[in-house]
Structure 1
Amino acid sequence: MIDQSTVARIFDSAEISEVVSDFVTLKKRGVNFLGLCPFHNEKSPSFTVSPAKGIYKCFGCGKGGNPVNFIMEHEHLDYVGALKYLANKYHIEVVEKELSPEQEKKKNDRESMMIVNSFAQKSFTENLHENSQGIAIGMGYMRERGFRDEIIKKFQVGYCLEGWDAFSNHAQECGFKKEYLVTTGLSIEKENRLLDRFRGRVIFPIHGIAGRVQAFGGRILKNDKKSAKYLNSPESEVYSKSRILYGIFQAKKSIVQNEKCFLVEGYTDVLSFHQAGIENVVASSGTALTADQIRLIKRFTNNITIIYDGDAAGIKASLRGIDLVLEQEVNVKVLLLPQGEDPDSFSRTMGASELMEYIEKNESDFIVFKTNLLLKDAKDDPVKRANLIIEIVHSIAIIPDGIIRAVYVRECSNILNVDERVLYTEINKIIHKVKADSWKNEQRSNLPSDQEREKLPDNSAFLRSANECDGEERALVRTLLNFGSEILFSQKDEAGNEEKLLVGQYIIAELTNDELESINPLYQLVFDQYGENMEKETFNAKTFFRDHSNEKVNQLAADILSEPHQLSGLWTRKESVIETEEEKLVLIVPKLVNEYKGKKVRLLMKDVMQEMQKAQDTGNSDRMMELMKQKMVLDQIKNAISKELGNRTIS
């Protein structure tokens, strides 16, 4: 872990316009800079960099954040990787925290395994190009498949020699420990002897997103029915097959440039597409598609086309897994190749432009594809058709975007000859159930712990829409960030000393005293951490949350800080001669807090009235009396807040 003082030095040194200008041509516009967004195609610049605020914001695609966020997004690095990138740019020595003995051992073991994998890749590649057996057998196979030298070298394809222990012995002679050869899966220990896992196979190194070799896939070249055609490295500290995609390192740049990713099944499918001139392609390597793999692709694009061969049975087995793609808010299309063809063989029959033309002409939306595919089986069988409708409804229901859902409902209604209203009824049932379950879980767990908040759930968008106080709470967060350190009230005590109450102190005190908590953990985290840090002399809310290690928090801060300071009509009075927003704080902040309290009271009152109706319907007089007392208390609070707001009605 990078020492916090080093992180602070990096944030202090990384000037946002300097960082961004390494990748984007910026032009001065007033106090800000303007340029074309590097994250989406645009002709008119909407990408703004604010040196004063230390943030960037694109008003076209919505991306924004601090210098570290920019490097993470543009260079596709994780948080630590982006920090190290900036440290190198500004010549800052990275000091990492001292690890516990267990952490140190785990880190060293992981690094040792990566070094062993790197050695193995170089050894296998050398075998393929320089060893007589490798040239005759391994390279002979690659030539037979029609792969050119530049493709073979690009993917560092290799060959593991025949024999039980040729590689294992060579690795040990070079000083590599037995334990790391075994934990990486390169060797298998049997009766105190190491045997080569991949002996006699062509080797396809599996690279991580940064280009380091994490694992291997090996294809057997003999007709041996007892041995698997393809063999992969086992799961280890450095390799999780559900979280990596073959070819992602070689494809990531092209995926970003083309705003699309093609997903195929095997290693040679990827190589063949690259050889045909299409580089934005990755493979799931025979594993069922996982949410982690989808999120990995989503780091580079929201558009995926899954390419299948003509095996209908295999496609049907994969359909449910593809629902994961829809759930991750990714646009997914499907391409079914002609019978008897696979991506490898098909891509070798045509050039890049011809292949792209075929794909664009024949790919179809997943939902439509799935509907037509299942419809062939259902035919006129009413039970099968009913099951088909349920299957399609579930797939459409998990699509988060309402407009896209509506388009699919219309298309599927036409294909299935089912009234749209029937489909909507079933879809709404599913959506409401999911939201209800999510809401219940949120209420049951109340607010998350500090550790849980640091991770923050992926359904923040739903929480915002489900939170009826979102507007008021976001306004409070905005006020804390922009004006929290401003003086709200000032008075002298009995000794003549001036006492100051800051905006942030007032807001946090009001929220704490009345035990007001947000159901959105993102807002609550801001309130909690503001309260914990506001008494520190060095605390600056803007930089604290803008440079927060949690990406969701710093994204929220960037969004809010990039908003213009506009007053609500509620605070504007015709007779007012106050010129600046800061000067209006004494009017704004108490009203803002009371508006929030009023909204909370209204929601509580709504719940009480509903409960009173239930009590009346069931004739429960004791419960009715209890609720009437609660209503009287809420009425008193409502009247007090209304008085504070100038006798405005709280409805």
Structure 2
Amino acid sequence: MTDADKIIAAIPVESYIGRFVVLKRKGNNLWGLCPFHGEKTPSFSVAPQKGIYKCFGCGVGGNVITFAKDFNKLSFPEALKLLADFAGIELSRQPHRPGEDDRKRAFIELHLWAHKLYRSAFGGSDAERYTKSRGIQERAVEAFELGYAPDQTRYLESKLNERYRNEPQLLAKAIENLTVIGLTGRNDSDTYNRFRDRLIFPIKDLRGQVIAFGGRLVREKENAGKYINSPETPLFNKSNSVYRLGEAAQAIRKEGFVIVCEGYLDVLGLFEVGLENAVAPLGTAFTGEQAKQIKRFADNVTFFLDNDNAGTEAVYKSLRIARKANLAIKVVHPLAPGDKQDPFDLSRKLSPEEMRFLVQQAHSEVKFLVWYFFQFKYNVSDLSQKKQALVDFYDYVRILETELERDEFLKTAAGALQIEVQILRKDFTTPVQGGKTAGAWLNQPEPAVARTAAVSSKPKPVSKQEKEIIAMLVRFPDLGDEQMLLSEIPWENENAYLLYSFFHDRLRTGEAYSWQNLNAAMQFLPDNLGALLAEIMMDYEAAFDQAESLTPAEAKRNLRQLVRSLAIQALDKRIQDRQKIIGSEEKRGADIEELMLEQQQDIDKRTQWFRAQ
């Protein structure tokens, strides 16, 4: 039994999905609102008997592994590990070096132990008094699992001494690991706690495991940073991690976008006013890796940083990174000088409705950039500064992917500068040093491949006959011997053909799946084919789960009828398309004799098929 088989057998799909979706029974299946797209009427169905789910609104589907992978935006191995941890299953495949997983588990366990200590120390502490003074409510304290690190140099070590009182070797190893994961530092003579007298924010990975901490001073101290984070460790990489991305995942799906703030309190403040789709970088400027992490959950990002000079510059740098990750961008910013305001401050002053309105009215990427270059950064009333502003603006325009976007940015800039857009277009394409142009490709035609992709027609949906043929082949494996009949199937949908080929190839090699164990095939299928298989299983579950309702002869007869029905549909389409060509060619006086002959042959063939039925 494979690891995937163990997980599928151990975790009922309805119990795992039920942790995230409210499910109500209707007939044999359970129904709820789809977690992958917004809807008001439940179209998300879970079939406990088959161990699968299917949304009839957006088309997603699969088994418990597929759900964990797509819901948490994980790779297949990551989803297996997540579910194995959830079910307490030991995975058989361990690609890491011997002892590496044990070491990481020890680090995670130590983080969890410290997290519980900090949580238990919060009640009645200076950290609790600080949160109350900032108007932070109990709901946010619980949701963010806030804690307190007492103002003691060796607080964690003293607690370890209590824990391992009679186990000196375990004690020594645990103290050593505290230093490895950055909770303690070491001076010449001894260790000291990194977090002291601070409000503690646990930092979790996408699987919900505590992997680091952030700490804010609860009172001002000389030569002490207001905020500190855990250092880089075997579990924690600041540049790759996004604060509360995993916890905000469901709200991000619901809202359709991510709000990127500067720090912990900003995220908490937005949470308290109902904007639970907020996240933050971790003590670093926004990075490309963080943009990729966000891209796994949403295509749209709204930057809501401080409005002071440093915050404004941070927005601009973040925009370039987000643009390279192909994220659609908006910016919450007053586009004017004024007193410093951050999201947390605003959340204390404005109502939830006013905060949501502020985010909804976020400026477009180009509007912010035009203000940034032509008002904030440069004084365009000075000709030399105006020229430099345009040079920098053009530099940003170069990273845009389409001619439409580039031209839109130039039009907006022209409007802001009150000059003709043709002047900017010409200036943008004027050769500069080295003989190159700032954007000579502005008027170049798009590659043929891109044009073809843009006008390509929407793929045809999978037909009822195509789905039934696949279902018949799986339910009655002997039909795989009907090679001549199967070779006549005129597949219209590529996914249907690929799924058919998957099962047909396994029939030929003696690795056939039965109707009862189709769930096991999901792990070998890409998401689109897994969703199609889930749909087929649900569509034909009632018919094929009954006692033998078809004899082999009846099954063969049904298959022949399905193939013939598809063939007639394909023939009708060919006749209709050719008739249009005949009409067009006849109008321009072309010779249509050969076309007419082909048309009559197809019409005769269609007549013969109907007579044979």
TM-score of Structure 1 vs Structure 2, range by shorter chain: 0.5 to 0.7
Per-residue deviation, residues 338-359 of structure 1 (Å, max 9, x unmatched): 5322222222112212322333
User: In the alignment, which residue of structure 2 is the partner of 1:151?
Assistant: 140
Query: Measured at CA, do residues 558 and 409 of structure 1 come closer, stay the same or move farther in structure 2, by a change above 3 Å?
Result: farther
- 8 Å Cα contact 1:160/1:201 also seen in 2: yes
Measure the CA separation in 2 of the matches of 1:19 and 1:219: 36
Q: 1:582 aligns with which of 563, 572, 584?
A: 563
Tell me, yes or no, if structure 1 residue 418 matches structure 2 residue 421.
Answer: yes
For residues 610-621 of structure 1, the aligned pairs below 5 Å read: none
For normalisation by structure 1, the TM-score amounts to: 0.61
Alignment gaps of 5+ in structure 2? 165-170, 430-437, 537-558, 571-601, 603-613
Deviates more, 1:347-356 or 1:161-170: 161-170
Measure the CA separation in 1 of the matches of 2:233 and 2:280: 20
Shift, 1:332, TM fit: 2.3
Query: Measured at CA, do residues 84 and 233 of structure 1 come closer, stay the same or move farther in structure 2, by a change above 3 Å?
Result: closer
Q: 1:214 aligns with which of 192, 208, 211?
A: 211
User: In the alignment, which residue of structure 2 is the partner of 1:287?
Assistant: 284
User: In the alignment, which residue of structure 2 is the partner of 1:167?
Assistant: 156
Tell me, yes or no, if structure 1 residue 228 matches structure 2 residue 232.
Answer: no
For residues 108-127 of structure 1, the aligned pairs below 5 Å read: 108-127=102-121
Query: Measured at CA, do residues 53 and 394 of structure 1 come closer, stay the same or move farther in structure 2, by a change above 3 Å?
Result: farther
Per-residue deviation, residues 253-293 of structure 1 (Å, max 9, x unmatched): 43344444322111222233334454332222332223443
Q: Secondary structure at the match of 2:208?
A: coil
For residues 127-526 of structure 1, the aligned pairs below 5 Å read: 127-129=121-123, 135-136=125-126, 138-175=127-164, 176=171, 177-191=174-188, 193-220=190-217, 226-336=223-333, 338-361=338-361, 363-376=362-375, 377-378=377-378, 379=380, 381=383, 383-397=387-401, 411=412, 414-415=415-416, 417-419=420-422, 422=425, 429=441, 465=453
Measure the CA separation in 1 of the matches of 2:423 and 2:47: 48
Shift, 1:554, TM fit: 2.7
Query: Measured at CA, do residues 538 and 394 of structure 1 come closer, stay the same or move farther in structure 2, by a change above 3 Å?
Result: same
Query: Measured at CA, do residues 274 and 192 of structure 1 come closer, stay the same or move farther in structure 2, by a change above 3 Å?
Result: same
Measure the CA separation in 1 of the matches of 2:150 and 2:20: 49
Matched AA of 1:343: P
Q: Secondary structure at the match of 2:332?
A: strand
Matched AA of 1:558: A
Shift, 1:38, TM fit: 4.0
For residues 4-15 of structure 1, the aligned pairs below 5 Å read: 4-7=4-7, 9=9
Measure the CA separation in 1 of the matches of 2:567 and 2:82: 44
Measure the CA separation in 2 of the matches of 1:479 and 1:42: 29
Measure the CA separation in 2 of the matches of 1:238 and 1:340: 35
Shift, 1:310, TM fit: 2.1
Measure the CA separation in 1 of the matches of 2:524 and 2:532: 14
Tell me, yes or no, if structure 1 residue 106 matches structure 2 residue 79.
Answer: no
Query: Measured at CA, do residues 179 and 544 of structure 1 come closer, stay the same or move farther in structure 2, by a change above 3 Å?
Result: farther
Query: Measured at CA, do residues 541 and 501 of structure 1 come closer, stay the same or move farther in structure 2, by a change above 3 Å?
Result: farther
Query: Measured at CA, do residues 128 and 328 of structure 1 come closer, stay the same or move farther in structure 2, by a change above 3 Å?
Result: same
Q: Secondary structure at the match of 1:195?
A: strand
Query: Measured at CA, do residues 187 and 387 of structure 1 come closer, stay the same or move farther in structure 2, by a change above 3 Å?
Result: same
- 8 Å Cα contact 2:252/2:277 also seen in 1: yes
- 8 Å Cα contact 1:54/1:66 also seen in 2: yes
User: In the alignment, which residue of structure 2 is the partner of 1:641?
Assistant: none
Matched AA of 1:353: E
Query: Measured at CA, do residues 51 and 535 of structure 1 come closer, stay the same or move farther in structure 2, by a change above 3 Å?
Result: farther
- 8 Å Cα contact 1:480/1:541 also seen in 2: no
> Which structure's relative contact order is higher, taking Cα pairs within 8 Å and 6+ residues apart?
2
Query: Measured at CA, do residues 489 and 174 of structure 1 come closer, stay the same or move farther in structure 2, by a change above 3 Å?
Result: closer
Query: Measured at CA, do residues 501 and 96 of structure 1 come closer, stay the same or move farther in structure 2, by a change above 3 Å?
Result: farther
Q: Percent identity of the aligned residues? A: 24
Query: Measured at CA, do residues 343 and 549 of structure 1 come closer, stay the same or move farther in structure 2, by a change above 3 Å?
Result: same
Measure the CA separation in 2 of the matches of 1:234 and 1:88: 26
Q: Secondary structure at the match of 1:241?
A: coil
User: In the alignment, which residue of structure 2 is the partner of 1:96?
Assistant: 91
Q: Secondary structure at the match of 2:400?
A: helix
User: In the alignment, which residue of structure 2 is the partner of 1:567?
Assistant: none
Measure the CA separation in 2 of the matches of 1:42 and 1:266: 32
Measure the CA separation in 1 of the matches of 2:444 and 2:29: 44
User: In the alignment, which residue of structure 2 is the partner of 1:512?
Assistant: none
Measure the CA separation in 2 of the matches of 1:36 and 1:325: 31
Deviates more, 1:176-185 or 1:204-213: 204-213
Measure the CA separation in 2 of the matches of 1:216 and 1:350: 29
Measure the CA separation in 2 of the matches of 1:66 and 1:98: 21
Shift, 1:335, TM fit: 0.8
- 8 Å Cα contact 2:259/2:303 also seen in 1: yes
Deviates more, 1:216-225 or 1:13-22: 13-22
| Aligned residues between the structures | 517
For normalisation by structure 2, the TM-score amounts to: 0.65
User: In the alignment, which residue of structure 2 is the partner of 1:558?
Assistant: 531
Shift, 1:232, TM fit: 1.0
Shift, 1:432, TM fit: 8.7
Q: Secondary structure at the match of 1:240?
A: coil
Measure the CA separation in 1 of the matches of 2:514 and 2:227: 55
Aligned-residue Cα RMSD (Å) equals 5.6
Measure the CA separation in 1 of the matches of 2:116 and 2:104: 19
Query: Measured at CA, do residues 42 and 270 of structure 1 come closer, stay the same or move farther in structure 2, by a change above 3 Å?
Result: closer
- 8 Å Cα contact 2:8/2:65 also seen in 1: no
- 8 Å Cα contact 1:265/1:284 also seen in 2: yes
Matched AA of 2:117: S
Query: Measured at CA, do residues 173 and 72 of structure 1 come closer, stay the same or move farther in structure 2, by a change above 3 Å?
Result: same
Query: Measured at CA, do residues 17 and 155 of structure 1 come closer, stay the same or move farther in structure 2, by a change above 3 Å?
Result: closer
Measure the CA separation in 1 of the matches of 2:445 and 2:496: 25
Query: Measured at CA, do residues 502 and 428 of structure 1 come closer, stay the same or move farther in structure 2, by a change above 3 Å?
Result: farther
Query: Measured at CA, do residues 234 and 327 of structure 1 come closer, stay the same or move farther in structure 2, by a change above 3 Å?
Result: same
Per-residue deviation, residues 557-608 of structure 1 (Å, max 9, x unmatched): 5359869xxxxxxxxxxxxxx974535899999xxxxxxxxxxxxxxxxxxx
- 8 Å Cα contact 2:242/2:290 also seen in 1: yes
